[in-house]
Amino acid sequence: MSLVIPNREVRPITAVAWTSNTSTCPKDFTLISITEDGAAANFTRSFAMKSGYYLCYSKDLTGGMVVSDVQLISDKDSIPHGYCYIAEHLEPKATVSKKKRVCVRLVPIGSVDTAVLDIKLTAKSKMMLQHYTYVGDVHGYVLWCKKGPFTSPVPQAKPRRVSLDIQKLSLDQPTPLFPLKPSNPLRYLED
- Indicate the residue type of 146: K
Which range has the worst mean pLDDT, 8-12, 45-49, 107-111?
A: 45-49
State the pLDDT at residue 36: 93
Residue 69 lies in a domain: yes
Q: Is residue 159 part of a domain?
A: no
The whole-number pLDDT of residue 170 equals 60
Domain coverage including residue 65: 3-149
Main-chain phi, psi angles of 162, to 5 degrees: -65, -40
- With respect to residue 164, please indicate whether it lies within any of the assigned structural domains: no
Confidence of residue 187 (pLDDT cuts 50, 70, 90): low
Residue 55 lies in a domain: yes
The tens digit of pLDDT for each residue in 140-154 reads 899 999 999 976 554
Is residue 118, in this structure, part of any structural domain at all? yes
3-class SS letters over the chain = CEEEECCEEECCCCEEEEECCCCCCCCCEEEECECCCCCECCECCCCCCCCCEEEEEECCHHHCEEEEEEEEEECCCCCCCCCEECEEECCCCCCCCCCEEEEEEEEEHHHCCEEEEEEEEECCCCCCCCCCEEEEEECCEEEEEEEEECECCCCCCCCCCHHHHHHHHCCCCCCCCCCCCCCCHHHHHHC
pLDDT higher than threshold 50 for residue 7 = no
Q: What per-residue string of b and e applies to 153-170 under the rule 16 or more CB within 10 Å gives b? A: eeeeeeeeeeeeeeeeee
What's the CATH code of the domain at 97? 2.100.10.50
Residue 191, in any domain of the structure: no
Q: Is residue 158 part of a domain?
A: no
For 169, phi then psi, to 5°, come to: -90, -10
How many distinct structural domains can be found in the chain?
1
pLDDT tier at 5, thresholds 50, 70, 90: very low
Question: Quick check: is 174 in a domain?
Answer: no
